[in-house]
């Protein structure tokens, strides 16, 4: 394998590392330092990648699925061996604290081994035929060339959710990662290469969404687009894919709530809220940004949250003592500031935070104080719109039913949570909450790779990442009939 300068990344097309004419700096959000240069590729790079994938996919699909799976087993082993190194690189380019970065790499490891197991499953179905001496079955078959577009907030985990099931199912991949976090994409692609993935099965093309992403979405030889990102861009992708009758899988964020009932363990609830809201500095689609709290325990929960927020250390995620890292870039900081102003103007009461942190070494990076609003109404913009930062809104309610209604009154439907000791409320909540994921006595984060990940309403379009359900995005169902009667048999006619 050609050795690349880790400061200057390159595309990976048809088994070759290819430089682009133009690059952009990759900035460590904790320090403001340039840590790499990422290619800004053109439509021509996309075309080369698609042609390579199209050619490779035909041969890859003929490799028995258990043999395809061996590549993922080796990938998982290599990821595990390099876990600490990868976690530190992830923290440098993304900013999340090292503990969380290790967890994200572990997620990719888990996904590699889990999807490798599917190489000996990929179950179809057999069913009786209505005719004598006739066999009927359905099997999964690969779709072809898959385009995946991944975000910066989980640069290796989400990539594994999408690429590993696509690969084990016999597809080839063209991957556009976020330009903010290209190092994880580069490292994962090197590992897949080392694991023995044939050339052309994985093609990595760095660049902007407006150039590389747009070219992928419009390319007639990419049969599937799997996208994680904003609702606005996702809707545009869905519209274009609809015009082409191209399969598309979307995951587009959330406005997730923790419900705290008056019988809840408030210390446990506070811990769950702190972790869900301020982990990854609130920059994850499952982050808790709303707390729907019964008015009887609102004051006590506020006090517990304020005490815990006071002890959150903010800083460079490579410091093991830090609990809250930086915001990805200055645009993110400015967006959060605007929503703080909106919240105050709407009449919400700011309990703590609400400002950028610029003291000492923090001024070199992009840091925002963990923020807590209270006396928020469910219809306020800060309770409706995705902020993507360490900002939480406390919304008081009078009853369980009102809590459910407030949870469900937003555009998104990804994750929700309820803290209660009442088993009846637990089962009613998991029935009535309109999100794709529901937690009981835990925060809104913590998805495991063997369960489907995704949401309803403005969060997605019905498909799921991870779990065996992910295979539905990257395969088609084929019905097969084998008539061994030696004569013409007509279904629905020759049945008596």
Q: At 136, list the tokens.
A: 């009927």
Q: How far apart are CA 381 and CA 265, in angstroms?
A: 29
Residues 166 and 264 in one domain: no
Residue 301: predicted pLDDT = 98
In the three-class reduction of DSSP (H, G, I as helix; E, B as strand; rest coil), residue 154 is classed as coil
CA 150 to chain centroid, in Å, comes to 8
Residues 113 and 246 in one domain: yes
Residue 7: predicted pLDDT = 82
Listed in sequence order, the residues at least 6 apart from 348 whose beta carbon sits closer than 8 Å to its beta carbon are: 373, 374, 375, 376, 377, 380, 382, 393
**Structural domain count of the chain:** 2
Residues 54 and 143 in one domain: yes
Q: Provide the H-helix boundaries in 393-482.
A: 400-407, 423-432, 471-474
Quick: pLDDT tens for 194-250.
999 999 999 999 999 999 999 999 999 999 999 999 999 999 999 999 999 999 999
Q: How far apart are CA 354 and CA 270, in angstroms?
A: 20
Q: How do strand 16-18 and strand 11-13 relate by DSSP bridges?
A: antiparallel
Element (H, E) at 186: helix 182-194
Residues 164 and 266 in one domain: no
Closest CA to 255 of 282, 274, 228: 282
Q: How far apart are CA 304 and CA 265, in angstroms?
A: 12
Residues 278 and 231 in one domain: no
Residue with tokens 């900081």: 333
Q: Provide the H-helix boundaries in 95-173.
A: 98-117, 157-168
Q: Are 116 and 69 in contact (CB under 8 A)?
A: yes
Q: How far apart are CA 50 and CA 37, in angstroms?
A: 24
452 found inside a domain:
no
Q: Are 79 and 108 in contact (CB under 8 A)?
A: yes
In the three-class reduction of DSSP (H, G, I as helix; E, B as strand; rest coil), residue 272 is classed as helix
Element (H, E) at 247: strand 247-251
Q: How do strand 134-142 and strand 475-483 relate by DSSP bridges?
A: antiparallel
Q: Are 177 and 56 in contact (CB under 8 A)?
A: no
24 found inside a domain:
yes
Residues 375 and 243 in one domain: no
Residue 5: predicted pLDDT = 45
Q: Which letter does DSSP use for residue 280 in this model?
A: G
494 found inside a domain:
no
251 is catalytic: yes
Q: Whole-prediction pTM value?
A: 0.96
Q: Are 146 and 60 in contact (CB under 8 A)?
A: no
Q: Are 128 and 134 in contact (CB under 8 A)?
A: no
Q: What is the CATH number of the domain that holds 23?
A: 3.40.605.10
Residues 247 and 273 in one domain: no
Residue 6: predicted pLDDT = 55
Residues 17 and 69 in one domain: yes
Q: How far apart are CA 83 and CA 345, in angstroms?
A: 45
230 found inside a domain:
yes
171 found inside a domain:
yes
Residues 419 and 359 in one domain: yes
The range of the structural domain enclosing residue 408 comes to 256-440
153 found inside a domain:
yes
Q: Are 40 and 20 in contact (CB under 8 A)?
A: yes
Element (H, E) at 463: none
Residues 308 and 415 in one domain: yes
493 found inside a domain:
no
Q: What is the CATH number of the domain that holds 290?
A: 3.40.309.10
Q: At 334, list the tokens.
A: 């400015």
Residues 276 and 424 in one domain: yes
- Exposed/middle/buried for residue 134 (C-beta within 10 Å: 0-12, 13-18, 19+): middle
Which residue among the candidates 104, 193, 251, 386 is catalytic per the annotation? 251
Listed in sequence order, the residues at least 6 apart from 131 whose beta carbon sits closer than 8 Å to its beta carbon are: 483, 485, 489, 491, 494, 495
Other CB atoms within 10 A of residue 360 CB = 8
Q: How do strand 125-128 and strand 247-251 relate by DSSP bridges?
A: unpaired
45 found inside a domain:
yes
Q: CA–CA distance from 272 to each of 8, 98, 439 (Å)?
A: 40, 19, 11
Q: Residue 166, CB half-sphere, CA atoms under 13 Å: how many?
A: 32
Ranges of residues in the chain with a pLDDT under 70 are: 1-6
- Exposed/middle/buried for residue 18 (C-beta within 10 Å: 0-12, 13-18, 19+): middle
Residues 100 and 152 in one domain: yes
């Amino acid at each position: 394998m050609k050795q690349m300068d880790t400061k200057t990344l390159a595309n990976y097309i048809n088994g070759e590392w290819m430089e682009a004419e133009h690059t952009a700096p990759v900035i460590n959000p904790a320090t403001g330092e340039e840590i790499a240069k990422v290619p800004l590729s053109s439509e021509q790079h996309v075309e080369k990648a698609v042609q390579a994938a199209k050619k490779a996919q035909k041969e890859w699909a003929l490799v028995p699925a258990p043999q395809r799976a061996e590549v993922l087993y080796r990938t998982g082993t290599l990821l595990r061996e390099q876990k600490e190194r990868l976690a530190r690189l992830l923290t440098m380019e993304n900013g999340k604290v090292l503990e969380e970065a290790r967890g994200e790499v572990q997620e990719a490891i888990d996904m590699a081994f889990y999807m490798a197991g599917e190489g000996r499953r990929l179950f179809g179905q057999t069913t009786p035929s209505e005719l004598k001496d006739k066999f009927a079955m359905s099997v999964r078959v690969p779709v072809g060339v898959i385009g995946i577009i991944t975000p910066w907030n989980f640069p290796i985990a989400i990539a594994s959710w999408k690429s590993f099931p696509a690969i084990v199912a016999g597809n080839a991949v063209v991957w556009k990662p976020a330009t903010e976090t290209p190092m994880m994409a580069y490292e994962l692609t090197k590992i897949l290469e080392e694991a023995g993935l044939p050339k052309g099965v994985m093609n990595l093309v760095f660049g902007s969404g407006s150039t590389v992403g747009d070219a992928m979405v419009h390319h007639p030889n990419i049969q599937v687009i799997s996208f994680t990102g904003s609702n606005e861009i996702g809707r545009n992708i869905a519209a274009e894919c609809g015009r082409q009758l191209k399969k598309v899988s979307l995951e587009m964020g959330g406005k997730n709530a923790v419900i705290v009932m008056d019988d809840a363990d408030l210390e446990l609830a506070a811990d769950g809220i702190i972790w869900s809201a301020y982990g990854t500095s609130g920059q994850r689609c499952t982050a808790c940004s709303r707390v729907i709290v019964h008015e009887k325990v609102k004051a006590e929960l506020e006090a517990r949250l304020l005490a815990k927020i006071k002890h959150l250390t903010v800083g460079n995620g490579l410091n093991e003592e830090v609990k809250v890292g930086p915001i990805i870039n200055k645009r993110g900081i400015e967006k959060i500031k605007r929503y703080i102003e909106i919240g105050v103007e709407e009449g919400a009461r700011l309990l703590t935070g609400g400002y950028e942190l610029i003291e000492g070494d923090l001024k070199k990076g992009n840091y925002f104080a963990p923020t807590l609003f209270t006396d928020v109404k469910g219809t306020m913009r800060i309770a409706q719109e995705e902020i993507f930062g360490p900002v939480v809104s406390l919304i008081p309610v009078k009853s369980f039913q009102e809590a459910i209604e407030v949870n469900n009154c937003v555009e998104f439907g990804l994750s929700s949570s309820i803290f209660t000791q009442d088993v009846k409320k637990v089962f009613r909540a998991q029935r009535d909450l309109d999100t794709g994921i529901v937690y009981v006595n835990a925060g809104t984060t913590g998805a495991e790779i063997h369960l489907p990940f995704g949401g309803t309403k403005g969060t997605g379009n019905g498909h799921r990442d991870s779990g065996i359900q992910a295979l539905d995005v990257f395969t088609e169902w084929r019905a097969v009939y084998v008539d061994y009667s030696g004569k013409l048999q007509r279904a629905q006619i020759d049945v008596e």
